[in-house]
A = this chain, B = another copy of it.
Amino acid sequence: MPRKPKQQRSQATVNAIIEAGFIAMAEREPATITTRQIADIAGVGVGSLYEYFENKEAIFSAMSERFVADTVALIRPQIATLVRMPIRDAVRHMLESFRTFLQENDGRYLSCIQYAMTLDFERYIDPLQQTLSELVTQYLMNHPDTLRVRDIPTMSYIMIHGGIFAVVRHLSDPSPPITFDQLVEGLARMVGHYTEREIAMANATQEHLRAKEPDETGSDREQ
Protein backbone atom coordinates (compact mmCIF):
# COMPACT_ATOMS: atom_id res chain seq x y z
CA MET A 1 0.00 0.00 0.00
CA PRO A 2 2.74 2.55 0.79
CA ARG A 3 4.11 4.00 -2.40
CA LYS A 4 7.56 4.80 -3.65
CA PRO A 5 8.49 8.48 -3.56
CA LYS A 6 8.79 9.66 -7.15
CA GLN A 7 9.28 13.38 -6.78
CA GLN A 8 12.04 15.08 -4.86
CA ARG A 9 9.36 16.69 -2.70
CA SER A 10 8.15 13.37 -1.35
CA GLN A 11 11.68 12.11 -0.93
CA ALA A 12 12.22 15.09 1.34
CA THR A 13 9.11 14.13 3.28
CA VAL A 14 10.34 10.61 3.77
CA ASN A 15 13.61 11.97 5.01
CA ALA A 16 11.92 14.42 7.35
CA ILE A 17 9.92 11.58 8.83
CA ILE A 18 12.97 9.43 9.47
CA GLU A 19 14.84 12.40 10.91
CA ALA A 20 11.85 13.14 13.13
CA GLY A 21 11.98 9.56 14.28
CA PHE A 22 15.60 9.97 15.36
CA ILE A 23 14.82 13.23 17.13
CA ALA A 24 11.86 11.72 18.94
CA MET A 25 13.89 8.66 19.86
CA ALA A 26 16.55 10.87 21.39
CA GLU A 27 14.12 12.59 23.74
CA ARG A 28 11.47 10.01 24.64
CA GLU A 29 11.10 6.36 25.44
CA PRO A 30 10.60 4.56 22.14
CA ALA A 31 7.39 2.99 23.45
CA THR A 32 5.82 6.37 24.19
CA ILE A 33 6.43 7.92 20.80
CA THR A 34 3.17 8.57 18.96
CA THR A 35 2.55 8.98 15.27
CA ARG A 36 1.26 12.49 15.92
CA GLN A 37 4.54 13.45 17.60
CA ILE A 38 6.58 12.16 14.72
CA ALA A 39 4.33 13.95 12.24
CA ASP A 40 4.54 17.19 14.22
CA ILE A 41 8.32 17.08 14.48
CA ALA A 42 8.59 16.26 10.79
CA GLY A 43 6.17 19.08 10.01
CA VAL A 44 3.77 16.90 8.05
CA GLY A 45 0.26 15.61 8.62
CA VAL A 46 -0.26 12.25 10.28
CA GLY A 47 -1.75 10.89 7.10
CA SER A 48 1.50 11.50 5.28
CA LEU A 49 3.30 8.96 7.43
CA TYR A 50 1.22 6.27 5.88
CA GLU A 51 1.93 7.34 2.33
CA TYR A 52 5.39 5.85 2.53
CA PHE A 53 5.38 3.64 5.61
CA GLU A 54 3.25 0.61 6.26
CA ASN A 55 2.90 1.56 9.91
CA LYS A 56 4.77 3.08 12.82
CA GLU A 57 6.98 0.01 13.12
CA ALA A 58 8.10 0.55 9.58
CA ILE A 59 9.40 3.98 10.46
CA PHE A 60 11.52 2.49 13.22
CA SER A 61 12.66 -0.22 10.88
CA ALA A 62 13.74 2.36 8.34
CA MET A 63 15.71 4.07 11.07
CA SER A 64 17.38 0.83 12.07
CA GLU A 65 18.14 0.08 8.48
CA ARG A 66 19.73 3.43 7.95
CA PHE A 67 21.69 3.05 11.14
CA VAL A 68 23.03 -0.36 10.22
CA ALA A 69 23.87 0.81 6.70
CA ASP A 70 25.78 3.75 8.14
CA THR A 71 27.62 1.48 10.53
CA VAL A 72 28.63 -0.84 7.76
CA ALA A 73 29.72 2.19 5.76
CA LEU A 74 31.84 3.19 8.73
CA ILE A 75 33.59 -0.11 9.11
CA ARG A 76 34.01 -1.44 5.60
CA PRO A 77 36.45 1.24 4.36
CA GLN A 78 38.57 0.68 7.45
CA ILE A 79 38.98 -3.03 6.84
CA ALA A 80 42.01 -2.64 4.63
CA THR A 81 43.75 -0.60 7.31
CA LEU A 82 42.66 -2.67 10.28
CA VAL A 83 43.86 -5.82 8.66
CA ARG A 84 47.47 -4.60 8.71
CA MET A 85 47.51 -3.66 12.35
CA PRO A 86 48.52 -5.82 15.31
CA ILE A 87 45.35 -7.40 16.61
CA ARG A 88 45.10 -5.38 19.81
CA ASP A 89 45.53 -2.12 17.93
CA ALA A 90 42.90 -3.16 15.41
CA VAL A 91 40.38 -3.81 18.16
CA ARG A 92 41.20 -0.53 19.86
CA HIS A 93 41.00 1.42 16.66
CA MET A 94 37.68 -0.04 15.60
CA LEU A 95 36.02 0.41 18.95
CA GLU A 96 37.11 4.01 19.26
CA SER A 97 35.73 4.90 15.88
CA PHE A 98 32.55 3.06 16.73
CA ARG A 99 32.12 5.02 19.91
CA THR A 100 32.61 8.30 18.12
CA PHE A 101 30.07 7.23 15.56
CA LEU A 102 27.44 6.21 18.12
CA GLN A 103 27.79 9.41 20.03
CA GLU A 104 27.63 11.94 17.22
CA ASN A 105 24.33 13.72 16.60
CA ASP A 106 23.41 13.64 20.33
CA GLY A 107 23.80 9.90 20.43
CA ARG A 108 20.85 9.37 18.15
CA TYR A 109 22.27 6.08 16.99
CA LEU A 110 22.67 4.85 20.50
CA SER A 111 18.93 4.90 21.16
CA CYS A 112 18.58 3.29 17.81
CA ILE A 113 20.85 0.34 18.38
CA GLN A 114 19.11 -0.38 21.62
CA TYR A 115 15.86 -0.48 19.73
CA ALA A 116 17.32 -2.52 16.90
CA MET A 117 18.52 -5.06 19.41
CA THR A 118 15.08 -5.46 20.90
CA LEU A 119 12.85 -5.98 17.96
CA ASP A 120 14.10 -7.11 14.63
CA PHE A 121 17.48 -8.25 15.69
CA GLU A 122 18.11 -10.83 13.01
CA ARG A 123 17.12 -8.58 10.17
CA TYR A 124 19.07 -5.56 11.29
CA ILE A 125 22.07 -6.96 13.13
CA ASP A 126 22.88 -9.47 10.43
CA PRO A 127 24.51 -7.10 7.93
CA LEU A 128 26.66 -5.75 10.72
CA GLN A 129 27.66 -9.23 11.69
CA GLN A 130 28.39 -10.04 8.06
CA THR A 131 30.71 -7.08 7.82
CA LEU A 132 32.54 -7.98 10.97
CA SER A 133 32.86 -11.57 9.81
CA GLU A 134 34.38 -10.28 6.64
CA LEU A 135 36.82 -8.25 8.68
CA VAL A 136 37.81 -11.33 10.64
CA THR A 137 38.26 -13.38 7.49
CA GLN A 138 40.43 -10.73 5.89
CA TYR A 139 42.44 -10.46 9.04
CA LEU A 140 43.08 -14.17 9.11
CA MET A 141 44.22 -14.13 5.51
CA ASN A 142 46.69 -11.37 6.27
CA HIS A 143 48.08 -13.10 9.33
CA PRO A 144 48.57 -16.75 8.42
CA ASP A 145 49.81 -17.65 11.88
CA THR A 146 46.39 -16.80 13.31
CA LEU A 147 44.89 -19.56 11.19
CA ARG A 148 46.21 -21.99 13.74
CA VAL A 149 43.61 -21.10 16.35
CA ARG A 150 40.96 -23.75 16.70
CA ASP A 151 37.32 -23.40 15.70
CA ILE A 152 37.60 -19.96 14.22
CA PRO A 153 33.88 -19.58 13.43
CA THR A 154 33.01 -20.06 17.08
CA MET A 155 35.61 -17.64 18.37
CA SER A 156 34.58 -15.11 15.78
CA TYR A 157 30.96 -15.54 16.86
CA ILE A 158 31.83 -15.01 20.49
CA MET A 159 34.04 -12.02 19.91
CA ILE A 160 31.59 -10.29 17.60
CA HIS A 161 28.47 -10.83 19.67
CA GLY A 162 30.11 -10.44 23.01
CA GLY A 163 31.98 -7.38 21.86
CA ILE A 164 28.98 -5.63 20.33
CA PHE A 165 26.89 -6.23 23.37
CA ALA A 166 29.48 -5.24 25.93
CA VAL A 167 30.03 -1.96 24.08
CA VAL A 168 26.37 -1.16 23.57
CA ARG A 169 25.55 -2.07 27.11
CA HIS A 170 28.35 0.10 28.39
CA LEU A 171 27.40 3.10 26.31
CA SER A 172 23.78 2.77 27.45
CA ASP A 173 24.64 2.51 31.10
CA PRO A 174 24.20 5.86 32.88
CA SER A 175 26.76 4.95 35.53
CA PRO A 176 29.01 2.23 34.22
CA PRO A 177 31.32 0.52 36.73
CA ILE A 178 34.28 0.85 34.36
CA THR A 179 35.38 3.46 31.86
CA PHE A 180 35.04 3.01 28.15
CA ASP A 181 38.80 3.02 27.80
CA GLN A 182 39.07 0.19 30.26
CA LEU A 183 36.49 -1.70 28.28
CA VAL A 184 38.40 -1.18 25.05
CA GLU A 185 41.69 -2.23 26.59
CA GLY A 186 40.03 -5.23 28.13
CA LEU A 187 38.52 -6.39 24.87
CA ALA A 188 41.81 -5.80 23.06
CA ARG A 189 43.70 -7.88 25.64
CA MET A 190 41.03 -10.55 25.55
CA VAL A 191 41.27 -11.01 21.82
CA GLY A 192 45.05 -10.60 21.75
CA HIS A 193 45.79 -13.01 24.56
CA TYR A 194 43.43 -15.59 23.20
CA THR A 195 44.99 -15.72 19.77
CA GLU A 196 48.52 -15.72 21.14
CA ARG A 197 47.76 -18.52 23.53
CA GLU A 198 46.13 -20.59 20.82
CA ILE A 199 49.06 -20.05 18.48
CA ALA A 200 51.51 -20.99 21.21
CA MET A 201 49.57 -24.14 21.97
CA ALA A 202 49.40 -25.09 18.30
CA ASN A 203 53.14 -24.64 17.99
CA ALA A 204 53.83 -26.65 21.12
CA THR A 205 51.68 -29.51 19.89
CA GLN A 206 53.43 -29.54 16.57
CA GLU A 207 56.94 -29.43 17.96
CA HIS A 208 56.71 -32.45 20.18
CA LEU A 209 54.80 -34.55 17.69
CA ARG A 210 53.83 -36.77 20.57
CA ALA A 211 52.53 -35.43 23.86
CA LYS A 212 54.92 -34.68 26.68
CA GLU A 213 52.73 -32.41 28.84
CA PRO A 214 49.30 -34.05 29.10
CA ASP A 215 48.45 -31.21 31.47
CA GLU A 216 48.35 -28.62 28.71
CA THR A 217 47.27 -30.65 25.78
CA GLY A 218 44.88 -32.80 27.72
CA SER A 219 42.07 -30.28 27.37
CA ASP A 220 42.29 -30.17 23.56
CA ARG A 221 39.30 -31.95 22.23
CA GLU A 222 37.08 -30.18 19.79
CA GLN A 223 37.88 -29.64 16.10
Interface residues of A (CB under 8 A from B): 31, 88, 117-119, 121-122, 150-151, 153-155, 157-158, 161-166, 169-170, 172-173, 177-178, 181-183, 185-187, 189-190, 192-194, 196-198, 219, 221-222
Contacts and interface: CB of A to CB of B under 8 A. Distances in A.
Contacts of A190: 155, 158, 190, 194
23 contacts: A31-B119, A118-B119, A122-B173, A151-B185, A153-B182, A154-B183, A154-B185, A157-B170, A157-B177, A157-B186, A158-B162, A158-B166, A158-B187, A161-B162, A165-B165, A165-B169, A185-B222, A189-B194, A190-B190, A193-B194, A194-B197, A196-B197, A197-B197
Nearest to A197: B193
Contacts of A178: 153-154, 157
Contact of A161 (B31, B153, B165, B222): B165
A154 to B, nearest CB: 4
Q: Copies of this chain, how many?
A: 2
